[in-house]
Amino acid sequence: MQGALNSPLTAQGVAEATRQGEILQRIDLQDFSFICSPQMRAVQTAGIALSHVAGFVQTDPRLAEITVGEWSGLLRDDLPMEDGPDAFMAQYEAAPGGEGLAGVTCRVTAFLADLKGPSVLVTHGVTSRVLRGLVVGEDAIGAASVHGGQGTVYHLKDGMQKVLK
């Protein structure tokens, strides 16, 4: 459980960020803003993925990953796990001293209210899941994307979500 911990990207993360950059280079992003979580792994992702499309990347702490309190740095398999389709997300709710989904929802809602136009956002799994759920609705966060879709470029517009490849 990483939560607010900082860690460098893995080789897989670097490859995913490179692929995201290739996807973004094919899109007209004129007049877009570029906003990133201030956490090291997101900043590193943004540096790779946005290097050819963004002149400036702003950070916003409201795009940070969910905090998991006392469970930071622990292995998911060593933590209590409920059964069922929501078991993955239930661990975030159960984390002692963690932020919980209500906290993430509150800060992401405030972020979205302040957003002034089309933007490319670099964030994290749970934060992405919450954000997409708020913008597109619960269909955006079905079982296939429960982990937030790391390495995925989502296009959200007019209540629709499309995965760009």
Query: Does 21 have pLDDT greater than 80?
Result: yes
What domain range is 121 assigned to? 11-164
* CB-CB contact of 132 with 141 (8 Å): yes
CB within 8 Å of 51: residues ≥ 6 apart = 21
Whether residue 102 is contained in a domain is answered as yes
CA distance 72 to 24: 32
Q: What average pLDDT does this structure show over 6-34? A: 95
Whether residue 139 is contained in a domain is answered as yes
Please, where are the H alpha helices in 26-71?
Answer: 40-49
What percentage of the chain carries pLDDT values higher than 70?
95
Q: What average pLDDT does this structure show over 6-20? A: 94
Query: Does 105 have pLDDT greater than 90?
Result: yes
Query: Does 145 have pLDDT greater than 60?
Result: no
State the burial class of residue 127 (Cβ atoms within 10 Å of its Cβ: 0-12, 13-18, 19+): buried
Q: What average pLDDT does this structure show over 64-82? A: 90
pTM for this structure?
Answer: 0.91
What mean pLDDT is reported for the chain?
90
Query: Does 83 have pLDDT greater than 80?
Result: no
CATH code of residue 48: 3.40.50.1240
Q: How many domains does the chain have?
A: 1
Query: Does 124 have pLDDT greater than 70?
Result: yes
Predicted local confidence at residue 147, as pLDDT:
53
Lowest mean pLDDT across 23-32, 47-56, 72-81, 123-132:
72-81
Whether residue 5 is contained in a domain is answered as no
Contacts 24+ apart (CB under 8 A), 21-26: 21/48, 21/49, 21/50, 21/51, 21/52, 21/53, 23/153, 23/164, 23/165, 24/49, 24/50, 24/52, 24/53, 24/120, 24/153, 25/52, 25/53
Whether residue 62 is contained in a domain is answered as yes
